[in-house]
């Protein structure tokens, strides 16, 4: 693609032509688990509701009220394509930027992490890059990794959005043009349950760093019921069979990957969500979703957990220790479920998220005009 020669335009207060470029692994919104896909869906539909002209570059079968462009005939997760293979997501980006080069968009919003940096300087249309996955400091040699090298070179002129302050602070390089916009929740979808239940829950992709083993260990020590939910990727099937399955019984149950319309009841009928993670989680959408239903969260003090959870108000944030997890579970009834919902409404609404992205779009378009 040659460098664009499109003329700049007057922004004023007019509605924008926006390209939302999503990963192609799952539909928008996802049929089951998929935090990025849910965020892209909420953002797209709310922007359309506000009168913007949005084009969604996403997997076929995505449910949207706006124009959908797909470069592959099915979600990549259904096509036996390796997660490490970037070719179709790169083609997705190329298609979006070629359209921008022809003057079809005022701004491009990419949700594909570092891959989009290869394209942003080929057009005059400004780009926004939301880093849904971590860009944490690493011992990797940036000179031998094209993405890391390009990211380092482009950092000072790239409009990066992080989804938490912790993710920004742990980034591999300083990013002077970055900002934080927290993910939002559709409170119409996640219903408040003032009573909750007597059992605990854990939900995420099934793997060790999401803390499933810690949740099981704590539930066994306290001899309480724990429901596990979430997708088991093919690469994690052996882990599930050998490590998790032997613990399953009447009290420790795996209920599978939940559909989108099953999540509210799953969260709302629980006493608390256990989230004893073993990595620096950039956000943790399930934490905000549980709190939206009034269900408090007990999490290890890793990543963004102190930003999401009001310690002692919407749950407990504790050190990474099973005994401390058990103690917090014993005291979870001290948390007021009304306060949990209120905290989430005040900080993690869909409307606030879209307000901040919309403001950013206008700022960047105004600079260009």
Q: What is the pTM of this model?
A: 0.91
Which of the four pLDDT bands, split at 50, 70 and 90, describes residue 89?
very high
pLDDT digits (tens, 9 = 90+) for 302-316: 999 999 999 999 999
pLDDT digits (tens, 9 = 90+) for 25-70: 999 998 877 889 999 999 999 999 999 999 999 999 999 999 999 9
3-class DSSP string for the chain: CCCCCCCCCCCCCCCCEEEEECCCCCCCCCCCCCHHHHHHHHHHHHHHHCCCEEEEECCCCCCCCCEEECCCCCCHHHCCCCCCCCHHHHHHHHHHHHHHHCCCCCEEEECCHHHHHHCHHHCCCCEEEEECCCCECCCCCHHHCHHHHHHHHHHHHCCEEECCHHHHHCECCCCCCCEECCCCECCCCCCCCCCCCCCEEEECCCCHHHCHHHHHHHHHHHCCCEEEECCCCHHHHHHHHHHHHHHCCCCEEECCCCCHHHHHHHHHCCCEEEECCCCCCCCCHHHHHHHHCCCCEEEECCCCHHHHCCECCCEEEECCCHHHHHHHHHCHHHCCHHHHHHHHHHHCEHHHHHHHHHHHHHHHHHHHC
> Do 135 and 250 fall within a single domain?
no
Assess whether pLDDT exceeds 90 at residue 215: yes
Q: What is the CATH number of the domain that holds 228?
A: 3.40.50.2000
**Residue numbers of the domain that contains 92:** 17-184+349-368
Give the pLDDT of residue 171: 83
> Do 207 and 310 fall within a single domain?
yes
> Do 170 and 27 fall within a single domain?
yes
Provide the domain count of the chain: 2
pLDDT digits (tens, 9 = 90+) for 353-368: 999 999 999 999 998 7
**53 inside domain:** yes
> Do 208 and 294 fall within a single domain?
yes
């Amino acid at each position: 693609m040659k460098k664009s020669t499109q003329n700049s335009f007057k922004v004023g207060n007019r509605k924008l032509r926006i390209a939302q470029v999503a990963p192609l692994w799952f539909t928008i919104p996802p049929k089951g688990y998929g935090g990025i896909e849910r965020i892209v869906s909420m953002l797209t539909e709310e922007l359309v509701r506000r009168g913007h002209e949005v084009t969604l570059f996403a997997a076929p079968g995505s449910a949207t009220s706006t124009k959908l462009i797909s470069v592959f005939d099915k979600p990549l997760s259904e096509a036996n394509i390796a997660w490490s293979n970037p070719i179709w997501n790169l083609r997705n980006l190329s298609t979006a930027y070629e359209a921008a080069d022809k003057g079809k968009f005022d701004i491009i919003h990419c949700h594909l992490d570092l891959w989009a940096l290869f394209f942003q300087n080929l057009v005059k249309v400004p780009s926004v890059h939301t880093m849904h996955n971590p860009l944490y400091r690493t011992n990797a040699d940036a000179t031998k990794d094209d993405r890391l090298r390009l990211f380092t070179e482009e950092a000072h002129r790239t409009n990066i959005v992080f989804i938490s302050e912790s993710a920004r602070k742990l980034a591999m390089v300083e990013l002077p043009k970055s900002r934080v916009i927290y993910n939002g929740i559709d409170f119409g979808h996640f219903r408040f349950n003032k009573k909750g239940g007597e059992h605990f829950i854990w939900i995420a992709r099934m793997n060790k760093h999401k803390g499933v083993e810690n949740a099981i260990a704590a539930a066994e020590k306290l001899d309480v019921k724990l429901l596990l939910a979430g997708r088991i990727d093919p690469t994690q099937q052996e882990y599930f069979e050998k490590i998790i399955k032997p613990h399953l019984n009447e009290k420790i149950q795996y209920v599978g990957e939940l559909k989108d319309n099953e999540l509210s009841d799953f969260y709302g009928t629980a006493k608390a969500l256990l989230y004893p993670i073993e990595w620096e989680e950039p956000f943790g959408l399930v934490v905000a979703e549980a709190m939206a239903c009034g269900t408090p969260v007990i999490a290890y003090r890793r990543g963004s957990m102190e930003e999401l959870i009001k310690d002692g108000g919407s749950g407990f944030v504790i050190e990474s220790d099973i005994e401390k997890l058990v103690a917090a579970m014993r005291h979870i009834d001290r948390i007021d479920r009304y306060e949990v919902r209120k905290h989430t409404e005040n900080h993690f609404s869909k409307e606030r998220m879209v307000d901040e992205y919309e403001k950013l779009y206008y700022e960047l378009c105004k600079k260009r005009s």
